[in-house]
Amino acid sequence: MKRELLSVLVGAALAVAPAAVLAQAKQDAPKAGAKAAASVKLSDGKVKIGVLTDLSGLYSDLSGAGAVLAVKMAIEDFQAMEKGKSFPIELVSADHQNKGDVASNKAREWFERDQVDMITDLVTTSTALAVMPVAKEKNRITIVNGAASTPITGKQCTDTNVHYTYDTYALAHGTGKAVVKQGGDTWFFITADYAFGQSLEQETTKVVLASGGKVLGSVRHPFPGTDFSSFLLKAQASGAKVIGLANAGTDTTNAIKQAAEFGITPKQSLAGLLMFITDVHSLGLKATQGMYLTEGFYWDFNDETRAWSKRFFEKQKRMPTMAQAGDYSSTMHYLKAVKAAGTDEAQAVMKKMKETPVNDFFAKNAKIREDGRLVHDFYLLQVKKPEESKYPWDYYHVRQVIPASEAVTPVAESECPLLKK
């Protein structure tokens, strides 16, 4: 398992300095940390954040090393804003291999042995749902940015978890509605056979039917998958106008490539129900042009999103996905809440996180609901034709800003016990 330890301490390191100056800096750093710790009561003298993500598998492009970088940037920016008065912050990261048992074991180790205060990213629903109850048991915080299933803030919600970036409800209500409106009124689903894929298919089915469309069938593929030929042929035989891809990462990109190879497209349309900008970049505009998708963040939306994304690009050499942007924004929100609460104790910090609106490049006037869902706007996007793209990573038309009130599961429909109190 890959594991990287990144320590970020108060103060800036001197690149070149006389030995005496370096020695003095070493003596002063603990004093500065002690002063900061005096104003914020920390359980072990520092705040420790763990990024538990996919560093080597099919979701590593959309999350992975970019998620670790985004959290590191948030820590550095928070410390810069505090002008040397920040409390000590440490970052650790690990590869959960998209396996729930690996994720829960690592989380327990981090909480019990390493005194980690918050775990973030958690790409894949299986890992998020495995780690959340461990965090609840240990009174620590989880912030989900990579996983999407609605049970995260539904039946399996916890009062120490935040579902920050996106979920299957938002994806379905964005892309599903748009495709039916454009005439794609008969659907066949190719679905990843685990909680995320099933949730995405179920949510999109509801939207298709409510919009006057029909679902002609579905098939589930192993997770992860490589050969989609048999599933695509079943979708082709159904005669559905739209083949809904209820999967993500390389599962989605492989299915799109193979659909073109078998001549299924453009006779039938594909709906990538969860696609990231890294997927479009990998496939190219020629293969993805015209496709609709729903995202919680787009790097080229306005001056604020561009400014942050260009900083990320300088280090990562690719534009951020919505999950990576969410990792930064949620980590910054968490650190501000620790400062405001004056402690790293989970319940006190979570109270501040829910009381304080999110106002940054990622979201405006957004608030975390009692079930842990960040209520924010989404974007219905359409992939540009190659000739419409004017500069690198200029991939989308923003067809609609979906208001938060329409993009998030209504309280009345939620199955989270925290909303029933």
Mean local confidence (pLDDT), 123-142: 97
Q: How confident is the model at residue 247, as a pLDDT? A: 95
Flag whether pLDDT at 9 surpasses 90: no
Percent of the chain having pLDDT more than 90? 87
Flag whether pLDDT at 46 surpasses 70: yes
Q: Rounded to whole angstroms, how far apart are CA atoms 62 and 54?
A: 9
Flag whether pLDDT at 128 surpasses 70: yes
Q: How confident is the model at residue 11, as a pLDDT? A: 36
Structure tokens at 250: 């390389």
Flag whether pLDDT at 287 surpasses 80: yes
Q: How confident is the model at residue 84, as a pLDDT? A: 83
Split at pLDDT 50, 70, 90, the class of 293 is very high
Q: How confident is the model at residue 27, as a pLDDT? A: 46
Mean local confidence (pLDDT), 214-220: 97
* DSSP per-residue letters across 33-83: HHHHHHHSB-TTSSEEEEEEE-SSSTTTTTSHHHHHHHHHHHHHHHHHHTT
Domains and CATH numbers, the chain: 3-166+301-376 (3.40.50.2300), 169-295+379-412 (3.40.50.2300)
Flag whether pLDDT at 21 surpasses 90: no
CB-based contacts of 305, cutoff 8 Å, min separation 6: 297, 298, 299, 325, 361, 362
Q: Rounded to whole angstroms, how far apart are CA atoms 397 and 388?
A: 9
* DSSP per-residue letters across 384-411: PPGGG--STT--EEEEEEE-HHHHS--G
Q: Are 364 and 302 in contact (CB under 8 A)?
A: no
Q: How confident is the model at residue 39, as a pLDDT? A: 83
Q: How confident is the model at residue 6, as a pLDDT? A: 40
Mean local confidence (pLDDT), 281-299: 95
**Average pLDDT score, the chain:** 91
Q: Rounded to whole angstroms, how far apart are CA atoms 247 and 98?
A: 14
Q: Alpha helices, DSSP H only, in 63-176?
A: 64-81, 100-112, 125-138, 168-171
Flag whether pLDDT at 12 surpasses 50: no
CB-based contacts of 408, cutoff 8 Å, min separation 6: 167, 169, 170, 369, 373, 375
CB atoms within 10 A of CB 257: 15
Angle at 420 between CA 417 and CA 421, to 5 degrees: 100
Q: Is this prediction's pTM over 0.85?
A: yes
Q: What is the pLDDT of residues 229-270, one digit of tens each?
A: 999 999 999 999 999 999 999 999 999 999 999 999 889 999
Flag whether pLDDT at 18 surpasses 50: no
* Locus of tokens 């748009």: 178
Mean local confidence (pLDDT), 291-318: 97
Q: Which amino acid is at 346?
A: A
Q: What is the pLDDT of residues 346-402, one digit of tens each?
A: 999 999 999 999 999 999 999 999 999 999 999 999 999 999 999 999 999 999 999
Mean local confidence (pLDDT), 327-353: 98
The residue that leads in pLDDT, 33 or 200, is: 200
Q: Which amino acid is at 107?
A: A
Q: How confident is the model at residue 35, as a pLDDT? A: 52
β partners of residue 375? 367
The residue that leads in pLDDT, 37 or 267, is: 267
Split at pLDDT 50, 70, 90, the class of 209 is very high
420 burial level (CB within 10 Å; 0-12, 13-18, 19+): exposed
Split at pLDDT 50, 70, 90, the class of 14 is very low
Q: How confident is the model at residue 38, as a pLDDT? A: 54
Q: Are 130 and 103 in contact (CB under 8 A)?
A: yes
Q: Rounded to whole angstroms, how far apart are CA atoms 81 and 74?
A: 10
